[in-house]
């Protein structure tokens, strides 16, 4: 598949998806929204890809929604405006629900929807000086479509400060509040990404997909309601071919087949 606004490069089982509008700091317009949604749908259907790394070309990861595009959408008839907003919301969902684990490599700026992308990926890694912010209120709007993804990571309490003030914060703070998994000096960012990718590749592919699904399913359940779900889950999973190989490899003191 070829894209106008993305650079998509496969490196064995790792697919690198890079936002590619460096002149506007990778701000996303309707083309990016449609292309990112298509790229993540393609990942779901591609058996070769085991891990996705989402990053950006140029000085910054992403300056969020393209404000010229936002202005255009505002001028559309009500229905068309609503459809375009829903497509944007579904792009974040396509990333969050991707069947393969998604690692974010964030640097420079990750503002507005850029912070939303950090929240949508599974494992966000950033440079310590990366600038985040739910800056929408400074523009007279709100971080609406990204709010569920961001609040899942930082919680309602922190959202009450950050959504209302639109204040900017750095990568270290993003780590402290749980928006990113880890902030490292820029010179160490690629090594941090490589380490996470290595960890994911050494895990059973079906188990990683199942873990992602487990979090989504169990998250909203009470401890009591979780019992039938989680016990059925492990009973089924430990009988799979992949689990049998994982157990056998450990007991035989060898690497499992998926690492060969
Ligand atoms: N939408 C559209 N264009 C954007 C953009 C956005 N969100 N963010 C940056 N750009 C454009 C700038 O207009 C500029 O275009 P120009 O070269 O034609 O003047 C170009 O990208 C570079 O931006 P600039 O501000 O000159 O670069 P910088 O490195 O000094 O600052 C940012 C980068 C990201 C800090 C700054 O551009 C910014 O604050 N952008 C808005 C971020 C934001 O609030 N996003 C939330 C959207 S809901």
Answer whether 189's CB lies under 8 Å from 126's CB. yes
Predicted pLDDT at 167: 98
Domains 6-201 and 205-259 agree in fold: no
Query: Is the CB of residue 135 below 6 angstroms from any atom belonging to ligand 1?
Result: yes
Domains of the chain by residue range:
6-201, 205-259
Spatial separation of the C-alpha atoms in residues 34 and 49, rounded to whole Å: 20
User: What's the topology of domain 205-259?
Assistant: Lyase 2-enoyl-coa Hydratase; Chain  A, domain 2 (1.10.12)
Predicted pLDDT at 43: 97
Phi and psi, residue 113, nearest 5°: -60, -20
Predicted pLDDT at 221: 98
Buried b (16+ CB within 10 A) or exposed e, 232-244: ebeeebeeeebbe
Predicted pLDDT at 165: 98
Predicted pLDDT at 260: 73
Which residue has the least CA distance to atom 41 on ligand 1?
A: 63
Which residues are 52's β-sheet partners? 15, 102
Give the pLDDT of the chain (260 residues) as one tens digit per residue: 899 999 999 999 999 999 999 999 999 999 999 999 999 999 999 999 999 999 999 999 999 999 999 999 999 999 999 999 999 999 999 999 999 999 999 999 999 999 999 999 999 999 999 999 999 999 999 999 999 999 999 999 999 999 999 999 999 999 999 999 999 999 999 999 999 999 999 999 999 999 999 999 999 999 999 999 999 999 999 999 999 999 999 999 999 999 97
Predicted pLDDT at 204: 97
User: What's the topology of domain 6-201?
Assistant: 2-enoyl-CoA Hydratase; Chain A, domain 1 (3.90.226)
Which residue has the least CA distance to atom 20 on ligand 1?
A: 24
User: At which residue do the structure tokens 């396509």 appear?
Assistant: 94
Answer whether 169's CB lies under 8 Å from 133's CB. yes
For ligand 1, the distance from its centroid to the CA atom of residue 46, given in whole angstroms, is 34
Query: Is the CB of residue 134 below 6 angstroms from any atom belonging to ligand 1?
Result: no
Spatial separation of the C-alpha atoms in residues 238 and 1, rounded to whole Å: 37
Predicted pLDDT at 112: 98
CA separation, residue 122 to residues 97, 100, 145, 203 (Å): 9, 10, 18, 15
State yes or no: is 167 an active-site residue: no
Query: Is the CB of residue 21 below 6 angstroms from any atom belonging to ligand 1?
Result: no
Total residues found in the chain within this entry:
260
Closest to 17 in 3D by CA, of 117, 126, 128? 117
Active-site entry in 136, 188, 199, 224: 136
- Residues 6+ away with beta carbon under 8 Å from 255: 249
Spatial separation of the C-alpha atoms in residues 235 and 3, rounded to whole Å: 43
Predicted pLDDT at 1: 81
Query: Is the CB of residue 67 below 6 angstroms from any atom belonging to ligand 1?
Result: yes
Which residues are 10's β-sheet partners? 15
Predicted pLDDT at 72: 98
């Amino acid at each position: 598949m070829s894209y106008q606004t993305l650079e998509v490069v496969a490196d064995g089982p790792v697919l690198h998806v890079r936002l590619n509008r460096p002149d506007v700091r990778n701000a996303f317009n309707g083309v990016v929204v449609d292309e990112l949604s298509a790229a993540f749908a393609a990942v779901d259907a591609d058996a070769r890809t085991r891990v996705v790394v989402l990053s950006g070309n140029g000085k910054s990861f992403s300056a969020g929604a393209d404000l010229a595009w936002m202005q255009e959408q505002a001028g559309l008839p009500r229905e068309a405006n609503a459809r375009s907003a829903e497509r944007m919301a579904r792009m974040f969902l396509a990333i969050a629900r991707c069947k393969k684990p998604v690692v974010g490599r964030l640097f420079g700026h990750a503002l507005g929807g850029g912070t939303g992308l950090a929240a949508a990926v599974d494992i966000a890694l950033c440079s310590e000086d990366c600038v985040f912010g739910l800056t929408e209120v400074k523009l007279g709007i709100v971080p609406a479509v990204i709010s569920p993804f961001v609040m899942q990571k930082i919680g309602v309490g922190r959202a009450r400060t950050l959504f209302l003030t639109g204040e900017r914060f750095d990568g270290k703070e993003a780590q402290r509040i749980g928006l990113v998994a880890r902030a490292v000096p820029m010179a160490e960012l690629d090594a941090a990404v490589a380490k996470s990718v290595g960890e994911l590749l050494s895990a059973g592919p079906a188990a990683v997909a199942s873990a992602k699904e487990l979090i989504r399913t169990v998250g909203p359940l009470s401890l009591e309601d979780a019992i039938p779900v989680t016990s059925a889950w492990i009973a089924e999973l430990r009988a799979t071919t992949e689990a049998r190989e994982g157990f056998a490899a450990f007991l035989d003191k060898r690497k499992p087949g998926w690492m060969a």
